[in-house]
Chain A
Amino acid sequence: MLRIEHLTKKYGDKAAVEDLSLHIAPGEIYGFIGHNGAGKTTTLRSVAGIQQFDEGEIFIDGVSLKEDALECKRRMAYVPDNPDLFEYMSGIKYLNFIADVFGVSATDRKRDIQDLAERFGLAEDLGQPISAYSHGMKQKLALIGALIHKPRLILMDEPFVGLDPKAAHLLKTMMRELCDQGGAIFFSTHVLEVAEKLCDKVAIIKDGKLVRFGTMEEVKGDDSLEEVFLELEAE
């Protein structure tokens, strides 16, 4: 589903991500952990086609991001760590805009927006301007926006920040549902307990380089993910 080959992204002379390779198969929830500034967001933004990278290749379902960025973007969705949305729009206007650029039909979008908004408890607030939303409401709206075109791959940067417990639980359920239907999820998090419970695979990044990756069992063995992470950080 997602193949990252030798990804390198530099800011000036400093490499934010260096020679990173990772494969994510359909049906997998892949956790991405690392300290602040380790290169998680840079990797996710590169895969989402938001920022250009210096070396390497990224393939979504075998399609090269460099050669056909639009086709890759049609198959995935990205949810940033800080949901900066078009504050001059109402929630429904934003969702209709996203549905338009992803080519979602009028009938499908009406059904899916209503369904997702009700599940996230946002249905009654969709007419309000986004500028009046709380952080958590914006996060929910960003998630609905990411889900309405039924992407095969979802990239999420710290998706649980700002969500209330009910919404966080719902998101976990939906992540699993999407992967059970053949989709894949690649997300970063600092909440190691969530990663440990939710992820099929996990990758740990340190100073722009992958230091460990594989199935949860391969990465943590008999220890907790937190212990492994702290041990790697201390090295």
Chain B
Amino acid sequence: MLKLLIKKQFSEMYAGLFFDQKKNKARTRGGTIAMIAMTVLLGLGVFGVMMTMLSNAICGPLTQAGMGWLYFTIMGLMALLLGVLGGAFAAYTHLYKGKDNDTLLSLPIPTRDIIASRILSVYFTVGGMVLVALLPAVIVYWITTGFTAGKVICGILFALAVSLLALVLSCLLGLLVARISTKMKNKSFVTVFISLLGMGLYYLFYFKFMDFIRTLTSSPESFARLEKIPGLKFFGQAGEGKWLPLLVVMALSLSLAGLTLFLLVRSFKKIITAADSVSRVKYKAREAKQKAPLRALLGKEKSRLTTNPGYMLNGAMGSIFLILLAGAALIKGPELMAHLGPAGGNMAKEILVIGAAGIIAFLAGSNNLTAPSVSLEGKQLWILKSAPVESSSVLKAKLGLHMIVTGVPVLLASLCCALVLKPGLMGGLLLILFPLLYILLFGAFGLMMGTLKPNLNWSNEMVPIKQSLPSMMTMFGGWFYGAAIVGLYFWVGQKMGGYLFLGIATLVTALLAGAVLLWLMTKGSERFDAL
């Protein structure tokens, strides 16, 4: 039974890899392999390369100093952070918000199997992030210290143990959110608030802990103190290839996973069948203002976003970070500028402006509202298609929401950075224009991908939001584009001058955005008509 449920779950999550909706038939084997290769490459390409570089930098010195365990402690905790970041926001929706809840409960399927298949679905996101982060670390360790069968087995088992721990933390956060939100009014905002609070506390603990480790490792005599921290050395030794610590860490993570499964199974039915505790209020008729169709469509998109915690957390997190950045720039910026002084002159200012524009674009790039937007219409697509509105208006409304939700915080962050950096007219203009055009480009690009590769047959909305090809391609594509611009700056930009380089990058971004917008308003609208 569990096998059947897992098959169902994965066929839904990765339908796009095996089935071409445009041609309404299964992909060829070659097409499927190409799609899988592209997806894996996108994932490995960004995080994999970053983690390999980091591992390469610290593995040699630490292992030579006999601190292999510290290498695995640092890399293991970093992978754990990435895994929880990837899975925590998805867990609540994955576990409890399936549209097939009633169908599955009505069938002779044990609740344990339903929840286990959903946990596996969460694990696919969490485990994927952990493995992308940890496998490069393990491989670098093998290359640096030499291959042995024992090290290979231990490394793989350690990665599995860490991914299970990340899964446990994600699922427990999902359970907490579900427990609280069943008793609350404005569930969506409560869910988002609790999730953010949970994540905030987790990060606070994590960064304090890493800071603590950094302080301890700053002097050789501190190592002895570091080793005394309960469990820290033991955890790292598991990755290093010591069998006893590995067995204990494995046993612990498996036990915690089992306990989590038990807790989730016990509460599953109660949570998903919980009656609305908020009393029903009789509707009293009142006059509503008439809106133009485009404004009505924009309002519809806004309603979808504000009533869907999964969409808010996964699609609009960048906006929160941008607001935090704006605040940090105003509070810490003057201090930083005073510290830098006039030493670097214009050159340093240009680098700071480019850096600020890059950071703003990077944070804004993690907002991913447009890529899942077409797929989220799902079975309700008939409403838009039978209404007297142009498809181009529907697409404009979807992009409009992205520009409002992301553009306003971008503008705020850019203005705050400009206030602190005082880059002059040209620098200030570029600092504002580049991030705005960047979000326009990747908002439009996400919508283009969502129109080209829609999945309208999901039973859990997290599938199009988090696990679809358009979402992945848009997020990684945005980051890749940003990284390419930074790389180009260090390659050729420094020679030609920072503002000239940023000006050219802004112009190229504007042209690309224009091209994608033109596609959306012509071919994209035709594609939407044909859905």
A36 at the interface (CB under 8 A from B): no
Residue numbers in B under 8 Å from A85 (CB-CB): 380, 383
Alpha-carbon separation in the docked complex, A73 to B387 (Å): 6
Binary interface profile of B, 307-338, with partner A (CB < 8 Å = 1, else 0)? 11000000000000000000000000000000
Beyond A52-B530, A101-B389, whether A113 also contacts B285 by CB under 8 A is yes
Which stretch, B233-241, B290-298, B413-421, B429-437, touches the partner chain A?
B290-298
Residue numbers in A under 8 Å from B287 (CB-CB): 106-107, 110
Please report the number of residue pairs spanning A and B whose Cβ atoms sit closer than 8 angstroms: 107
The answer to whether B290 and A99 touch across the interface, beta carbons within 8 angstroms, is yes
Which stretch, A119-127, A175-183, A190-198, A214-222, touches the partner chain B?
A119-127
Which stretch, B170-178, B214-222, B274-282, B356-364, touches the partner chain A?
B274-282
The answer to whether B303 and A93 touch across the interface, beta carbons within 8 angstroms, is yes
Within 8 A of A (CB), among B237-295: 276, 280-293, 295
B27 at the interface (CB under 8 A from A): no
Alpha-carbon separation in the docked complex, A91 to B282 (Å): 12
The answer to whether B293 and A88 touch across the interface, beta carbons within 8 angstroms, is no
B379 at the interface (CB under 8 A from A): yes
Alpha-carbon separation in the docked complex, A114 to B286 (Å): 9
Alpha-carbon separation in the docked complex, A82 to B383 (Å): 12
Within 8 A of B (CB), among A96-118: 96-107, 109-110, 113-114
The answer to whether A103 and B24 touch across the interface, beta carbons within 8 angstroms, is no
Residue numbers in A under 8 Å from B380 (CB-CB): 84-87
Alpha-carbon separation in the docked complex, A96 to B383 (Å): 13
Residue numbers in A under 8 Å from B390 (CB-CB): 70
B529 at the interface (CB under 8 A from A): yes
Beyond A50-B385, A84-B380, A106-B290, whether A89 also contacts B281 by CB under 8 A is no
Interface size on B, residues (CB 8 A): 39
Alpha-carbon separation in the docked complex, A45 to B382 (Å): 9
Considering only CB atoms, which chain A residue lies closest to B275 in the complex? Answer: A132
Q: How far is the CB of B115 from chain A (nearest CB, A)?
A: 22
Beyond A50-B385, A88-B308, whether A101 also contacts B293 by CB under 8 A is yes
Q: How far is the CB of A206 from chain B (nearest CB, A)?
A: 24
Binary interface profile of A, 45-72, with partner B (CB < 8 Å = 1, else 0)? 1001111100000000000000000110
Binary interface profile of B, 177-195, with partner A (CB < 8 Å = 1, else 0)? 0000000000000000000
The answer to whether A49 and B386 touch across the interface, beta carbons within 8 angstroms, is yes
Alpha-carbon separation in the docked complex, A96 to B300 (Å): 10
The answer to whether A73 and B386 touch across the interface, beta carbons within 8 angstroms, is yes
Residue numbers in B under 8 Å from A52 (CB-CB): 529-530
Given A51-B385, A100-B299, 8 extra CB contacts under 8 A:
A11-B24, A45-B382, A52-B530, A88-B307, A99-B288, A100-B296, A103-B290, A125-B283
28 A-B pairs whose Cβ atoms sit less than 8 Å apart in the complex: A12-B24, A48-B385, A49-B386, A50-B385, A52-B530, A70-B388, A70-B389, A73-B386, A80-B382, A84-B380, A91-B283, A97-B296, A97-B299, A101-B297, A101-B387, A101-B389, A102-B387, A104-B290, A106-B289, A109-B290, A110-B286, A110-B288, A114-B285, A124-B282, A125-B283, A126-B283, A127-B284, A132-B276
User: Could you tell me which A residues sit within 8 Å of B by CB distance?
Assistant: 11-12, 45, 48-52, 70-71, 73-74, 77-78, 80, 82, 84-89, 91-93, 96-107, 109-110, 113-114, 123-129, 132
